[in-house]
Structure formats: structure tokens, C-alpha cells
Structure 1
Amino acid sequence: MKKKIDPNLLIAIGVLIASFSALFVYMRQASIMSRQTEILLEQTKANAWPRLSVNAHLNWSDKKLETLQVKIHNKGTGPAIIEGVRVLYDGKYVTHWQDLFLKTKIPDSISKSISNKSVNNSVMSANENFYWVQFINDPNLASWMYKNRQKITIEICYKSVFNDYWLLRKEGFDNDTTIQKLGTQECTIPSNEVFKT
């Protein structure tokens, strides 16, 4: 005599299989949605990446340097939030322009008058640019700074609106600018080494 299988047991097994199948499908969909969200976030970040550059503009007249201007430009697609600037002369940090002039041992006969803009704790929108410092009042000052350009290093620590950090480094006015993406959640320039203006 064959033993009858309880129909309720069959229904329970079917429901259990259907539940596990639904759970598997849900977990797979959640994984796909999570990956899509990550991709969307990366695309959004890419649309808001700042990319700073530092360049020197020189104006010559009869083979004599008349003016030297240092320009900062945000060539990226999003705002650059500048959190720290460091200027080094011969490997040692300086805290302001007059300190830099002192380290270069500029003669007293040369005027130290400059036009400059504060960069620390500022925000540069996409495609914004400005002259950070201009040696335009005395050709002798422009020539002196140009003569010492290879000993000057400029570093700018900045972040995007998504708190991704970068460190720009330019050694000398003639060399290429290097930009390193930082794996930190803060500016790596110590507060006591920040260039004040």
C-alpha cells in the first residue's frame, strides 16, 4: 500500500522554493543596483573634478624681462576648494612673500612691491583663473625672481565637493605641474607650514 503525500506538505515545499528563489533574485537585483549606484557616483564625481594648474607668464622687452606673473587656473569640470598652500625655497618652507624675498637674499636696491591675491581657504569655480602674484612694478624684481625660479616650489592642496583631495606640486616656473590624488580625508600640508598670502 502506497503512502499518500500530504498536499499541504507539497504546497509548503513549493512556497519554500519560491521564497528562496525570490530571495536570490532580490539579492542579485540589490547587488546590480548597488554597482549601478557606484558607477553613477563615479560618473557624477568625474563631472565635478577640479584640476588646478600653475603657470608663469613672462613679458620680455628687448631681451629684458619686464614682468613676471604667476597664474592659477582651474581647468577641471568642478569647483576646487583650496585648503592649503605651501611655498618652499631651496627645500625650506616660507610663510609669506616677504619671507621668500628674505630667503632669496634680494638686494635692498630692488623694490619688493608686488600685487597678489590670497589663495588659502578659497574656492575656484570650473575654468576660473587669476594671477596669484604679479611682479610688475619693478623689472629688477621680476628678473630676480625669474633668476631664482628653479629653487621655488609651489604646493597647493585642494579638494572637490565630494571631499576627494589632490596635491599640486610645481618645482620652478618652467617645469611641468604634477598632481597627485591623495588617499586622505584632509589636507596634507601642516598648518604651521601654510603660506599666508
Structure 2
Amino acid sequence: MTTGYSFKNPEMIIAGSALIVSLITAFVSTYSASIDRAYARASVWPRVEIQRSYNDSRSFFYYMVSNKGTGPAVVKHARLSYDNKAVKSWPDYLQLRSGRTVGHVQSQIGSLVLSAGESTKPMELRDAEVAKLLADQDNLQIELCYCSIYDECWMVNRANNPIPVAQCTIEDKERFLQ
């Protein structure tokens, strides 16, 4: 005599219930891991912004780069251009704009790490004539490529609208060296 298996047997009901519970648990675990990864990325999301400031009464002009995000920004490279020509350094740019050597203070922006809430002034000057010139006709194009600690990268320019990019690449002839 052969025994037949029926879905009405208690063993089959228990096995089917265990299978369904296992599938639901696997789905919930996968979904939860996905949410955790998204939360981890969002908790360290950098947002780099470029500003400039001019004060006529104090005769100063400066650029500032700030990280307004929640995590560190790893700046991979900077590209500065004026009249579609790559600018290699602040002294080159100031010479090009004013026709003379201009005293200024500068900081590195081509490769640095900005913590959340941190700012740096890549260039500041206190020459009244040049400060006014830069404030009136500032056609300098600045682009920074930066990444999060998860290697998610963005390109930002002075419009401060970060554009996601696959990676930060630049030709050496276009790289800003300071």
C-alpha cells in the first residue's frame, strides 16, 4: 500500500508555513539592508559650494569653498579657466586680470578634504583696485570635483548645482595646481 501526500497533512501545512515565513524574512532582510545602505550614504553626504565676497569699504575680495553637507568632501581636483583658457595658479590669474603682480593669500583647493561644515578661502586679496576689478567683471570659471567616502562623486561650479559624475578625471594641462 502506498501512502499519498496531501497538502492537508499537518506536516505539509507546517512545511509550507515555514517556507512562506522564510521567504518573507529573506525579503524583509534584503529590504532592510538596502535602507541601511541608503541611510549610511545620506549620513555622510557632502555638498560643496563656491562663494565669493567683496567689500568695497575694506578693499578685500575672496573666494570661499564650503562643505554644507553632512559628511566629508574629498576634493579630487579643481579646474579654473578664464576666457576658455586653463588657469594654473592664482598668481597667473591675477596677472592676467590686472596686468601686474598682486599680493594675495592663497590656500590649496586642488586636493583637500573638507569636513562637514568646514570652509576654506582658496584666494584672498586686499588690493582695492584689483578687488573692484574682480567684483565688477568676474568671469572666472571654477569647477571642483569631489567625492564622498563611498566614492560617489560630483562636479560643482559657481552655480552651486552639484552634478553626479562616475569619477573625477581631468587632463593634466587643465588641472589647477594650487
User: TM (normalized to structure 2)?
Assistant: 0.86
Q: Write the distance in 2 (CA, Å) between the matches of 1:16 and 1:91.
A: 74
Post-superposition CA distance 1:92-137 (Å, at most 9, x none):
2211123323443x223xx41110001122111010012110012x
Equivalent-residue separation in structure 1 for 2:143 and 2:169 (angstroms) = 10
Measured after TM superposition, the shift of residue 55 of structure 1 is: 1.0
State the match for 1:158 in structure 2: 146
Letter in 2 for 1:135: L
Supply the distance in 1 between the matched residues of 2:23 and 2:173 (Cα, whole angstroms). 51
Q: 1:157 touches 1:189 (CA, 8 Å); kept in 2?
A: no
Which consecutive unaligned segments of at least 5 residues does structure 2 have?
A: none
SS at match of 1:163: coil
Match of 1:53 among 46, 49, 54: 49
Distance in 2 (CA, whole Å) between partners of 1:147 and 1:158 is 29
Aligned to 2:132: 143
Task: Give the Å deviation of 1:20.
Answer: 5.7
Look up the equivalent residue of 2:108 and give its one-letter code. S
Alignment pair present for 1:178 and 2:161: yes
State the one-letter code of the partner of 1:10: Y
Q: Which residue of 1 aligns with 2:34?
A: 38
Equivalent pairs counted in the alignment come to 177
Mind listing any 5+ residue stretches in structure 1 that lack a counterpart?
171-175
Identity %: 25
1:107 lines up with 2:107 in the alignment: no
Q: TM-score, normalised by structure 1?
A: 0.78
Larger radius of gyration: 1
1:70 and 2:57 equivalent? Answer: no
Over aligned residue pairs, what C-alpha RMSD do you find? 2.5
Alignment of 1:8-19 (within 5 A): 9-10=4-5, 19=15
Deviates more, 1:45-54 or 1:21-30: 21-30
Q: Helix, strand or coil for the counterpart of 1:10?
A: coil
Q: Aligned partners of 1:140 and 1:21: how far apart in 2?
A: 81
CA 1:24–1:192: 2 relative to 1, 3 Å: farther
Please say if 1:195 is aligned against 2:176: yes
